[in-house]
Structure 1
């Protein structure tokens, strides 16, 4: 079905607007939906990160304490009679000052603490080997010593990981949570994790110090989290052990034992590597689709990470987005309906005058420019409206008036074309005859010009041969003079270089003597530096002793002296480095003294060589000056020869240039005559074409008369009416 203009406008406008609206609403709805989802997800992730920081802070406090304790132990006096008791008092003080700690403990390698394990066999609470290992347990407001740590425990994989792992890695470690009792009774089990830090003595791991942390405070942080949409949270250790879950029966069990978790392998891998993970899937805990995140929790410098799991129902996540999208669709539908009504009214007001214009154009297409009484309303439209259609109607009125006048003028001009064409044909024939005569005269002039040009070219060739010979002689003489001049210049440069070399050698001799004096001064300065290095070594030894005494006093001060103990340890290390650096400087100074003596011996030999070189350079300078005088005589002779040859070449070149100008002028005359001849031929051809076209023009005038007779022009009615409209 073919649509009218109004139907096409409605179809295209409404179709385009509907498509744009639908695309825009879809895009906005998608973006709003996505933004709402992203906002909710970001809120959940921020909640997880905030909780992760709180959990990390609880654990990090214990790690910082064990690391500080390890440094203090490394710097304490382990050879004093009460060293072991002092250390036990130190870790007891730490236990009392750490609220989350159940126990503090320490264990050393055999004889690694004081080298006196044999003296403590079955004595002061130590076992059958006398090895230093001890555990202090907090019971109410009292601290008691426990003897649960044994030799076999420290050497067994799994049970002894709290000791073996930091010993092997050389870094602080946080153990995976486990149930443990210190009394041997099942009812006394506590859910704990162990924080362990290696103790370095003389650059190697000599033992491990640590504490067992109560996880109740960490569990309360997770339990009290406020999560959007009634979401739930869980906490997992690095190996997948459940630290907290709303189902208390799952605490302490590994997540791998559960069958209600999707993507178990990926989750366990991300937890182990300490990576963030987010996914959407079914949640058994919520009984519906949920947004799941696993946010890593890192502790101090330890590479072991835990993971906080948060589940949020997708129904809550998508609820706000769905409501917003639905409201947008309803508003868009109402807007489209109103837009359709407005577009229908606009198209009708536009199409009606266009239909009137179309009817007038059909009449004009039939060459009928008479007035149509059914279109009188268009006159009112042109008067009231100022839009493009009114402008089009004004233009059509002007077109009708102008075409009527043009048709009359064309009819008059057609009558005149015939006589003008005949007169033009006669004139063209006369022009052709005249151009034939001009062409014959031009051909004769061209023949004479070519003969003259050939004679001049032969003369020019002879003169060029003479000029070429003279130029060659002048060139050879000039090159000889230039070569002699270059030889003179190079000889002068050689003389200057010899003079410079003599001066440089003399300077070398002076510098050699100055260097010898400087080397003697360096030798004396080295002796002074040696005395300074000895003084630095003495100061470093005394500083080392003072740092050691400060560490002992800090250990006795307990928790209040921890910071001072760290500073004392750093001072001791600086003292050792200063002593080591002083020894290296002393070795370098010894080598410098030896090299200085060798340099003084070499400088004496250089002085003799310099004197011999100066004598030989003076002889070479005299010989070069004699050669310069002889080269100057040769140069004068060569310049005289070159001047004579150049004068002869210049005269020959002037003669050749004059003849060459004559040749060029003759050639230009020949070319001009040839151009005139060609122009004459073209003019004759053009005259013939003009005669032919004149005949065609006469025939065209007859056809024009027949065509103009087809126009219907009512000058009395049509022109008057439309001229009024045009005004």
Structure 2
């Protein structure tokens, strides 16, 4: 039972463990993705929030510069200095008031300045810049290029070498000419911006940074004013547009930078999160999942152990009672159980024990009956053996007479077969004569058909000859008509020639007016001569055709006479074939009558042969039956001896069966008697002795199987 208990625990616990671990892994990876998405959303939200704040911060300065650049005092001052000369300090007091009011409003503004189009510069507070040309400064050039916008420079160190500053410049435009007359600007310290960004609470051990469009670091916890070199991990962000995310290294630690671009000056503002800090959040979730999974696995194992013990305990009790049954105790009772399946099993085992008890009692009674019946059967077999000897002698005499009768019938059958061969030869010869007669008749009919065809063709040839003769007669008539027509054509040609000659004479009389008519008359005369010559030539050809037609007519006449003679000869041959046909039909009639008589003779011969064959078959069958009866009698004698031997063996086996049945206890009285005689050493008291009893029970099963096999073998012998 320990093996079954262990298997149940391992199987159920293994399935639960695998299921929980699989679910834990899936949940962990899903939560990791959720943490990653939350971190990305947090980073982009932080960037967006800081982006709006910094844009508002820069817009504040831009709005003030817009107001200063639009102030009429500033515009008039710069226009006057651009037109009248470099004495820049004269008249600056009004402008200085405007600049001071703005400068002292913000702590981050370190310096304000103006620059005229002629190069003059003035600052507030005052700085000696007389040798400086304002138009060469980056803030002036950037503002002059885009007058409608405020220009911001890249970060640089202030003149005193202290903090990093950035300069903002706004072009001053003359409203009358729309020309740039100067630039007003300021220097803004980055320290305030750095402090503001450093004070922000950035999650995941992160920080804020601001990077100029050219790669200079505007705001950073440790790298303000530095330049991002090409090849650094942060350099890739300068080549991008819009928002995004990149990975970079800072102080030997990996970070993820979420960034966007400021609309004010296209600077990059970003939030850097530590990858290790983001991973630590996932690690905390992982540890929680591991603890929950371990607790669930431990709890499932405890539940599995409890359930498996409840299942195996009644099974173990049934095993002990089955071992008692294997030892021969059929009085055992299997208890019920709270488990439905085990309860069904106990009920079925109780039925089996009851059936075995009934079977054992029936076998005991049957064994006694078999023992008494085997003794009676042995006596009957001896009497049957003596009667078989007498039957065998009588059957032997019958078989000898049947063999002699079969031999005589066989000789008669051979003589009839010789007669059959003679009839078959005669029939074949008559069929050969009939076949040849039919072949001759077919040849005769074919010849007659050919002669008839020849007669028809000769008649058709005669008719065609007559038609050809009539055709040549009509052809001669047509040739004569053509000759007459050609004579008329010749006469017409001569008359045309005379008319042409008369026309020529008349044309000659007419002189110049008749030249054209004379030419026509000459051509008509030539045509008349040609027609006359052609008519003569046709007459000659027709004369030749007429002569040849006469010769053909004579030849056709001769052929018609020959065809008439040929038709007479063919008619004679046809009459000869008719006589041959009549002779062949008479021969065929005689042969047909002979062939009709031969089958009748063969039928009578076949009837005699069939009768002899039946007599021979009956004789052979009687002889074979006699031999079989004789052999059967011999086998019966051997069987009787075997039956006697089997009866004795059956008696011995019945004794053995009774001894085996006595080993089974089918009543409580027998069970108590067996327990009194049982050795105490064989009673199990612990688990190891129980296992030994199980092995002993298996051996008992093997002995019972061997005994059952021997009993079945004895039954087969008894059946034989």
TM-score normalised by length of structure 1: 0.37
Structure number with the bigger relative contact order (C-alpha 8 A, sep ≥ 6) is 1
TM-score, length of structure 2 as denominator length: 0.38
Which of 1 and 2 has greater Rg? 2
